[in-house]
Amino acid sequence: MTEDTENRRQKLVLDVTVERLARLYAKAALDAANAKGTAESLVQELGELATGVLDRYPRLEALFATELISKDEKQEILDRTFSGRMTDCSLGLLTVLARHNRLDILRNVIRSVLSLWDQRRNLVQVDVQFATEPDEALRQEVATALKGLLRAEPVLTTRVDPDLVAGFVVRVGDKVYDGSARTSLERARLSMIARARESMQDQPDQFILEK
Amino acid sequence: MKFNSDEIASIIQKEIEQFGAQIDVREVGRVLEVGDGIAQVYGLSSVMAGEMVEFPSGTHGLAFNLEENSVGIIILGEYLDIQEGDEVRSTGKLLSVPVGDSMLGRVVDPLGNPLDGKGPVNTSKRREVEVIATGVSQRQPVCEPLQTGVKAIDAMTPVGRGQRELIIGDRKTGKTAIAIDAIINQRDSGVKCFYVAIGQKESTIAGVIEKLQDAGAMDYTTVIVAGASAPAPLQYIAPYSGTAMAEEYMFDGGHALVVYDDLSKQAVAYRELSLLMRRPPGREAFPGDVFYCHSRLLERSAKLSEELGGGSITALPIIETLEGEVSAYIPTNVISITDGQIYLQPELFFAGIKPAMNAGISVSRVGGAAQVKAMKKVAGGLRLDLAAFRELEAFAQLGTELDPATQARLDRGYRMVELLKQGQYVPMDVVDQVLVIYAGTRGHLDQVPVDQVHDWEAQFLVFIRDQKAGLRQELDEKKDLDDDLIAKIDAAIADFQEQYLANASTKEAVVEVPA
């Protein structure tokens, strides 16, 4: 995933109303695809739509979002572009979004579909920051440990942040497991200050040689 | 001063030896929007209502609204350095404040941070700001007086330890003055005092602090300040912080007095927060739980049972009315919660009656249980006498000729009203109060001109202290009036009257002699 896409992904997360809407469409699309047995195709096609089409042709995304083009015209564009090139469920989703004038949230819907699909397969997106570039053995070790902790299959996205000094930080949804040396050292620093202050208050004479 | 660096090095060494890599587990969210003292956060799916959260700038907040897709946070501090997209972490803790003896004499904000420039507060003890009040079985009825030092209050609407007595009135009627006098009067009583200033002008608060310092009251008082320029969340939690600090003493068998000045402004701050959080507005745009906001605060003031140490918190909440409207929403709410109210009226204030207390509609639901026996005896009929006087006063204004008995009652009433007037920052000891009120109610002032009542009172008290110290001490020890003591007081008054009237006639004679 490119950094730009990642950033846009983070930004888009901040509109909760849109997220809620997107989740509705995503659930409906997945349920419809499941009933036909084409859920995997749906997910794959939508993933390719996001990375292969929308990322490469941002003007297409802008076209979908604009109010200047009527929904009928958008429908025609969809038919011309995607008809015969994707499954009925995928095209059906795009058609419904166009009909409801919701093509502007297409990317959010795709992200929700991917997220729901992961949930249904008991996959959990995990963001792991290391202080240095990890080798494969370390990745495996982290993945195994997370599997036991989360009782789900972790899908790791790794990053390197030298500011951590050592150790790593794991983020799963809203929970952060911080095993970095940076946080431990900061905790130790604050503890040192607190202990010193307590000792000075309790036994001030020990700290003063001469007045 | 030379410091022993070896000691400091040993602390650091211990810390390094005990250093262990631990996993810090926290829940995070992301700021969606921030402004006006509140923030909406996405995430924090397991945060609980009232849980403290922390922003990257170090500012803390409280989870106020738990909504479907976001969490509404009230920011306890400056919100201008919080940005959209900032990561917010939950702390897993409830809001707490530092408590203990090191808070006495300090001026702090509602989070316990010092504002007086005297350095950090040195205490390791903390108490949670929001706790559930003690239950019924953990309390006992109020039985011990808390002397405010104000004659009108201690005689007619006495306050006991563990009581909630509301001080209500329009602006500039002397509400804060009564509270300050009550604090000053606790000097030798062992009662710790907490003055919570909510939404007040900082200059006014500075004036109050100075007065307390001049009276030596800051030695046992903590001032909690959430001034007019403080964010609404701090104004909202200030009373709870003050109560938490007082509870440290109550649960330790001690006694505390908390003044909330004033709860009207706290209600306004709570309304502001609730409207920003899009909670449905009710009457006067206040949220539906504004009653609960005050009731859960005031219910924490109690007299504990002997099993729990017998400690107490006495609350003096202040409510400001507009144009005397005591049937408005917030005043009626707080009146129904408290154990009595002291009404201050601007008409009385401008007529020179200070404290401007309307004895007819002021009440203390604890009553005589909060009075020493001596005061109960002398003040027993005082309220009724004053009520009768008020009825007759109207006739006097008509200018009609009155029968001697009625005129005598009027004259007595004028003198009692004059006697109950009191200067600011001069609270009176209960023994002195008993003596002067006894003198007034037994007719010993009937021969004294109304405009000389204060002069008589002052000289009488000096006379008692100088020449009848034994009598005063006996009354102070017994705190009751038996026949023997009454006889001694009568004799003392008779002695004093001779001296006073003799001095008065000498002065007149001196005045009459031509220059």
Is residue A189 pLDDT above 80, yes or no? yes
Beta bridge partners, B341, equal B166, B363
Residue A211 binned pLDDT confidence (cut-offs 50, 70, 90):
low
| Residue ranges of chain B that CATH labels 2.40.30.20 | 28-93
Is B365 an active-site residue? Answer: yes
Are A101 and A131 in the same domain? Answer: no
Domain-located, residue A131: yes
Helix (H, G, I), strand (E, B) or coil at B113: coil
Distance of CA B206 to the CA centre of its chain: 17
Residue B79 φ then ψ, to 5°: -100, -5
Q: Are B41 and B71 spatial neighbours (Cβ–Cβ below 8 Å)?
A: yes
Q: How far apart are CA B232 and CA B38, in angstroms?
A: 9
Q: What is the pLDDT of residue A200?
A: 77
- Greatest mean pLDDT among A123-137, B7-21, B214-228, B497-511: B214-228
Residue B507 binned pLDDT confidence (cut-offs 50, 70, 90):
low
The neighbour count for residue B514, using CB atoms within 10 Å, is 3
A2 in contact with B at a CB cutoff of 8 Å?
no
B24 in contact with A at a CB cutoff of 8 Å?
yes
Residue A13 binned pLDDT confidence (cut-offs 50, 70, 90):
low
Closest chain B residue by Cα to residue A199:
B11
Is residue B347 pLDDT above 80, yes or no? yes
Domain-located, residue A208: no
Are A59 and A139 in the same domain? Answer: no
Contact B4 A208 (CB under 8 A): yes
- Greatest mean pLDDT among A60-64, B3-7, B24-28, B431-435: B431-435
| Residue ranges of chain B that CATH labels 1.20.150.20 | 378-512
**Terminal-residue alpha carbon distance, chain A:** 64
Length of chain B (residues): 515
Q: Are B19 and B79 spatial neighbours (Cβ–Cβ below 8 Å)?
A: no
Is residue B28 pLDDT above 80, yes or no? yes
Is residue B18 pLDDT above 80, yes or no? no
Are A111 and A128 in the same domain? Answer: no
Q: What is the pLDDT of residue B510?
A: 54
CATH number of the B378-512 domain: 1.20.150.20
Last residue of a domain, one of A119, A146, A176: A119
- The proportion of chain A whose per-residue pLDDT surpasses 70, expressed as a percent, equals 92
Q: What is the pLDDT of residue B316?
A: 98
What dihedral do alpha carbons B327, B330, B332, B334 form, nearest 10°? -150
Number of domains, chain A: 2
Q: What would the pLDDT profile of B418-441 be if each residue is shown by its tens digit? A: 999 999 999 999 999 999 999 998
Q: What would the pLDDT profile of B44-91 be if each residue is shown by its tens digit? A: 989 999 999 999 999 999 999 999 889 999 999 999 999 998 999 999
Domain-located, residue A207: no
Q: What is the pLDDT of residue A192?
A: 84
Q: How far apart are CA B493 and CA B489, in angstroms?
A: 6
For the residues B333-346, what does the mean pLDDT come to?
Answer: 96
Are A98 and A51 in the same domain? Answer: yes
For the residues A52-73, what does the mean pLDDT come to?
Answer: 87
Are A133 and A75 in the same domain? Answer: no
Global pTM value: 0.87
* Contacts with B17 (C-beta within 8 Å, 6 or more apart), sequence order: none
Angle, nearest 10°, between helix axes B404-420 and B453-467? 70
- The proportion of chain B whose per-residue pLDDT surpasses 70, expressed as a percent, equals 97
Are A164 and A104 in the same domain? Answer: no
Say which CATH number the domain at A110 has.
Answer: 1.10.520.20
CATH code 2.40.30.20 for B28-93: yes
Q: How far apart are CA B358 and CA B153, in angstroms?
A: 10
Alpha-carbon gap: B28 to the closest alpha carbon of chain A (Å): 5
Domain-located, residue A15: yes
Are A102 and A142 in the same domain? Answer: no
Are A7 and A109 in the same domain? Answer: yes
Q: Chains A and B: how many Cβ contacts under 8 Å? A: 90
Is residue A107 pLDDT above 80, yes or no? yes
Contact A177 B70 (CB under 8 A): no
For residue B8, list chain A residues with Cβ-Cβ distance below 8 A.
Answer: 196, 207
Are A103 and A164 in the same domain? Answer: no
| Residue ranges of chain B that CATH labels 3.40.50.300 | 98-371
What value of ipTM does the predicted structure carry? 0.73
For the residues B118-133, what does the mean pLDDT come to?
Answer: 91
Are A29 and A113 in the same domain? Answer: yes
Q: What is the pLDDT of residue B432?
A: 95
Residue A179's domain comprises 123-202
Tokens linked to A110:
């795709």
Q: Among A190-194, B232-236, B308-312, B462-466, whose mean pLDDT is lowest?
A: A190-194
Is residue B399 pLDDT above 50, yes or no? yes
Last residue of a domain, one of A63, A86, A119: A119
Distance of CA B146 to the CA centre of its chain: 11
Q: What would the pLDDT profile of B352-377 be if each residue is shown by its tens digit? A: 999 999 988 899 998 888 899 999 99
Is residue B515 pLDDT above 60, yes or no? no
Strands B38-43 and B24-35: antiparallel
B203 in contact with A at a CB cutoff of 8 Å?
no
Residue tagged active-site, from B279, B296, B365, B390? B365
A177 in contact with B at a CB cutoff of 8 Å?
yes
Are A97 and A146 in the same domain? Answer: no
Is residue A130 pLDDT above 60, yes or no? yes
More confident residue, B279 or B505: B279
CATH code 3.40.50.1100 for B98-371: no
For residue A20, list chain B residues with Cβ-Cβ distance below 8 A.
Answer: 68-69
Q: Among A56-70, B134-148, B198-212, B290-304, whose mean pLDDT is lowest?
A: A56-70
For chain A, give the mean pLDDT: 85
Domain-located, residue A101: yes
Are A35 and A113 in the same domain? Answer: yes
Q: What is the pLDDT of residue A4?
A: 44
Say which CATH number the domain at A128 has.
Answer: 3.30.1330
Residue A7 binned pLDDT confidence (cut-offs 50, 70, 90):
very low
* Contacts with A71 (C-beta within 8 Å, 6 or more apart), sequence order: A98, A99, A101
For the residues B396-418, what does the mean pLDDT come to?
Answer: 83
Strands B191-198 and B221-226: parallel
Q: What is the pLDDT of residue B409?
A: 85
Q: What is the pLDDT of residue A9?
A: 43
Q: What would the pLDDT profile of B149-202 be if each residue is shown by its tens digit? A: 999 999 999 999 999 999 999 999 999 999 999 999 999 999 999 999 999 999
Q: What would the pLDDT profile of B210-235 be if each residue is shown by its tens digit? A: 999 999 999 999 999 999 999 999 99
For the residues B123-142, what does the mean pLDDT come to?
Answer: 94
For residue A24, list chain B residues with Cβ-Cβ distance below 8 A.
Answer: none
Last residue of a domain, one of A119, A138, A163: A119
